[in-house]
Each structure stands twice: as structure tokens, then as C-alpha cells.
Amino acid sequence: MTSPDKEMKRSKNGHHFAQPKQPSNNISQLLTFLLTLTLMCGLVGMSAKDSFLNQDFTKKQIVTNENVSSLHQGLSATVNSFVTDTETNFHIEGDLISKKQVKDDVNEVIDNLYAGKSVLIAPSQIIRQVSNNFMRKVHQAGINTGSEEFLSYKSNFIAQVEAAINNQVHNSLLQKGGQFLRQTQKKMTTMFYLGMVISVILLVALLFQTRSFFRSAHYAGLAFFFNGLIVWLLAQLVRVSGVVDNLAASVGMYQSLITDYGNSVLAVFIHDASFFGYIGLFLLLVALFGRFIRRNS
């Protein structure tokens, strides 16, 4: 039997009661670093899903009155230039492709793009639209459609339109855009869900590691804040570097459309990064409030 005096002595020497183990800052810092990486994956995946991977977003940004008018103007100018023939007496006035047809065709291209189809729109469809409008203008002008001169003129006109439309439909940018979208959709979706799930696991691990809600809020706040700050800075760097403008400059009459769309995508990334940054600041304030409570308790 241990005497009371010996028991008290052992207690005073610290041998009887185990001292509480302090959480390791190194492990907490490692978890915070990993959390920053997984949150970045989640943030990039979320922004991609909210912007260029979102069909509704793309339609809203591209199929606007301003963009449709610009595309209609460019296509009409190209098609109408083939109508003029100084060697004939045929005079046809008016647009040979309507703004509504351009809008419908753009919607179809976007639908096929997100459906993963290799052929975004059949050139024959646009050529048929132009040909029908052409013949309607011809009949309105009272031109004899049975003459050899007119048949030669019509054949030459359709051939030029067909070459121009095929060039536009098989534009390398559209093909590359479709290929990029097909390759990116699955990767970004996986990155988003995987990043968010692992982030939740790391947040729980931080809570158990620090054994304090306010201390874990401090580490989580740092991860959210620096993650949002990094992505925000990268998006702003891309915006001011002129990368979008340089890409758009190579696509002719689609230049303004690509520039506006690219800037809209960057705006989503900046907005989501700012949101993560604000979450980080809120968590840091919560941690500061907890420290204030501990000091005054």
C-alpha cells in the first residue's frame, strides 16, 4: 500500500498525473498547406463549372443582341460581296441571311459543342438558308431564272458561298474549342468534387489536431485567404497581360466575341476567388475573437 505522504509527494513531483499533450504546430501547418492545395483545386473546378463548362453561362454571354448583330453584319458582308458581279446585269439588294438565322445557328453550335459532337453545324444547312434567301430576292427582283446567264451566275455565287461557309464552320478555333471542352469537362468536375471532399476531411483533421475550434478556424482561415488571394492574382494577371486579346486577334470577325467571353470567364474566377478570400477573413476574425475570449477568461 502506498502511504498518503508518498502519494502526495509523487503527485507534487508530477509522476502521478499525466501532463496534457500539446498539439504539434508542424502537423497543423502541414494540414493547412494541404488544405490550401485542395481548396485551390476545388476553387478552380468550381469556377470552371460556373463559367466555360456551363452551357447556360456560355449562351448568356455569347448569344446577346450585340454579338448576334456583329456576327450577322460580318456574315452578311461576306455573303453579299459574292452577289456583286460587274459582268452581269443582275442587281440583288438586301441581306441574304437574317439575324434570326444567325442566332439560331449560334445556339445550335453551342448545343452541339457541349453535347460533344465533332460536327458543330452542317455547312449545307447555312448554304441552304442563303440559297433560299437568294432565290427569294431573285423572284422579288423579277429576274428570269431560266436563262443560261443567270444559271451560270447562280452557280458561281453558290460555289463562293459554299467555300466561305466551309471555311467558317471548320475554323480551327471552333475545332480546338470543342476538343478542349471535351478534354476539360471530366477533369474539372473530378477536380472540383475531389478537392472539396478532401478539404472537408482536412478541416475535420485540423479540428481534431488543434483540439480547439478557434485554433482550427485560424489555420482554415489562412488556407482560404491565401488560396483566394493566389487565384485572384493569377486571374488579374491573365486579364492585364492581354492573353485574351491576343487569342481573339487571330479569329477575325469573332474577335470582339472571344474577348468579351474570355473576360466574362475571368470575372467568374475573380468573383469566386474573392468569395474564398472573404471566407478566410471571416474565419480569421472568428479565431481572433476566440483568442480575445481566452485572454479575458
Q: Is the pLDDT of residue 11 over 50?
A: no
Q: How confident is the model at residue 84 (pLDDT cuts 50, 70, 90)?
A: low
Q: How far is residue 102's CA from residue 203's CA, in Å, rounded to a whole number?
A: 50
Average pLDDT in the 262-284 region? 95
Residues above pLDDT 90, as percent of the chain: 37
- Residue 12's pLDDT is what? 47
Q: How confident is the model at residue 14 (pLDDT cuts 50, 70, 90)?
A: very low
Mean pLDDT of the chain: 83
Q: Is the pLDDT of residue 134 over 80?
A: yes
CA distances to 29, 71, 72, 194, 197 from 204, rounded to whole Å, are: 14, 52, 55, 16, 11
- Residue 22's pLDDT is what? 54
Range with top average pLDDT, 127-141, 170-184, 216-230: 216-230
Provide the phi-psi class of 24: left if phi over 0, else alpha when psi is between -120 and 50, else beta: beta
Q: Residues 97, 69: contact at Cβ < 8 Å?
A: no
> Which has the higher per-residue pLDDT, 4 or 210?
210
Angle between helices 213-241 and 25-50 (to 10 degrees): 40
Q: Residues 188, 44: contact at Cβ < 8 Å?
A: yes
Q: How confident is the model at residue 44 (pLDDT cuts 50, 70, 90)?
A: very high
> Which has the higher per-residue pLDDT, 141 or 219?
219
Only one residue has cell 454579338, namely: 67
Q: Is the pLDDT of residue 46 over 90?
A: yes
Q: How confident is the model at residue 171 (pLDDT cuts 50, 70, 90)?
A: low
Q: Is the pLDDT of residue 205 over 60?
A: yes
> Which has the higher per-residue pLDDT, 297 or 3?
297
Q: Is the pLDDT of residue 251 over 80?
A: no
Q: Is the pLDDT of residue 116 over 80?
A: yes
Average pLDDT in the 71-100 region? 75
Q: How confident is the model at residue 15 (pLDDT cuts 50, 70, 90)?
A: very low
